[in-house]
Amino acid sequence: DVKVTQSSRYLVKRTGEKVFLECVQDMDHENMFWYRQDPGLGLRLIYFSYDVKMKEKGDIPEGYSVSREKKERFSLILESASTNQTSMYLCASSLGASGRWGETQYFGPGTRLLVL
């Protein structure tokens, strides 16, 4: 079974703090993704990575950055947290190999972030 883990289930931070969300997958997947999930808006892609040190912007990258130094680990960074970044953050991974058609993404349990 694919396992995607996220470092925290719940986080409370103050406005202006730097926030790190960590994601680890154990199946040697090439692709990793960060989404935020908000009621009524579904999941929106923030960033994704298709290889170590490679990253691509998703639909809503503003206010976020990412880091992928090792294949199994993908970090989401909020340089200066703001209240509108209060949300559920989901990490996902998929096998990769140049965007295989029909590929499934596997999701972690999510991190619920509250910015005060």
Contact set with another protein (CB under 8 A) = 4, 31, 33, 35, 39-45, 48, 50, 56, 58-59, 90, 92, 94, 96, 98-105, 107-110
> At its nearest, how many Å lie between another protein and the CB of residue 95?
9
The two three-digit tokens of residue 85, written as one number: 């970044």
Nearer to another protein, 41 or 116 (CB): 41
Residue 45 · residue 58 · CB < 8 Å? yes
| Residue 56 vs 79, nearer CB to another protein | 56
* Minimal distance, residue 34 CB to another protein, in Å: 12
Q: Which tokens go with 77?
A: 């960074």
Least distance to another protein, CB of residue 66, Å: 14
In this complex, which beta carbon is closest to another protein, that of residue 55 or of residue 81?
55
Beta strands in the chain (DSSP E): 4-6, 10-13, 19-25, 31-38, 42-49, 56-57, 65-70, 73-78, 87-94, 106-107, 111-115
